[in-house]
Amino acid sequence: MPLMILAHPNIQQSAANKTIVEELKKSNIELEIRDIYNLSPNYNIDVAAEQEALLRHDFIILQYPMYWFNMPAILKVWFDQVFEYQFAYGSKGYKLKNKKLLPSFTVGQPERNFKLDEYTSRMDNFLEPIKKSAEYSKMHYIEPVILYEIASVYDVKNVTGNTKGEIINKAKEHSKRLQETIKRYDKG
Ligand SMILES: Cc1cc2nc3c(=O)[nH]c(=O)nc-3n(C[C@H](O)[C@H](O)[C@H](O)COP(=O)(O)O)c2cc1C
């Protein structure tokens, strides 16, 4: 059964991430969801509880909105504290070895804003810290499931964003793609 680390600083006000999680809960996929923002008041992470949760599962999904071309601060604090020496790495470490790590995230801007050319996306650069952290911890990085273009307002070249209904529909589609990816990789 996979573990989802949900990292959103205001999940009640969220449209996309909230819908993705609600749709997953309605699906036939069993998973443990940890809302690390609400579990960690004032960014105080219960490191032992988070490490125990990671040890219970072989498949870890990171669910978050892109903030400033990165993960939200709570997820960075989680990495900094939970992936510690002699747990994620070190002579007595590598406790996450061979576990799968799948980023699933939402992005305000359209995909074309990230393209360098037809074949290259700057998004790959923004994902490098997670990819390299997985590699460093001997985890298996799974190519991310990304939902682009869901800002309610964005003004690059005066383009207007989506209505809440459109965001919710796109988030439902994302949740389906995520469910397919989970089924493909979750083999017991
Ligand atoms: C603090 C903050 C930073 C953001 N940074 C980016 C960004 O760097 N690139 C981008 O495309 N969207 C950015 N966005 C838009 C969010 O990614 C988008 O609103 C979010 O994915 C929507 O998910 P939600 O409905 O679950 O909140 C940012 C939003 C906030 C609040």
Separation of CA 163 and ligand 1 centre (Å): 15
Ligand 1 neighbour 69 (Cβ under 6 A): yes
User: Rounded to two decimals, what is the model's pTM?
Assistant: 0.96
Q: Residues 28, 59, 9, 126: is their CA dihedral positive or negative?
A: negative
Q: Which amino acid, one-letter code, is at 129?
A: P
Separation of CA 43 and ligand 1 centre (Å): 20
**What is the residue with the minimal CA distance to atom 1 of ligand 1?**
67
Ligand 1 neighbour 15 (Cβ under 6 A): yes
Within 10 angstroms of residue 188's Cβ, the number of other Cβ atoms is: 5
| Cα–Cα distances in angstroms (integers) from residue 72 to residues 21, 45, 106, 165, in the given order | 17, 14, 11, 24
Separation of CA 64 and ligand 1 centre (Å): 9
Strand 145-147 relative to strand 32-35, pairing? unpaired
Ligand 1 neighbour 109 (Cβ under 6 A): yes
* Residues in the chain, pLDDT under 50: none
Residue to mutate, 68, 69, 122, ligand 1, most ligand atoms under 8 Å from C-beta: 68
Q: Among 159, 163, 176, which Cα is nearest to 23's?
A: 176
pLDDT of residue 158: 60
Ligand 1 neighbour 126 (Cβ under 6 A): no
Ligand 1 neighbour 63 (Cβ under 6 A): no
- State whether residue 79 is helix, strand or coil: helix
Ligand 1 neighbour 72 (Cβ under 6 A): no
pLDDT of residue 155: 58
pLDDT of residue 153: 65
Separation of CA 95 and ligand 1 centre (Å): 32
Separation of CA 70 and ligand 1 centre (Å): 10
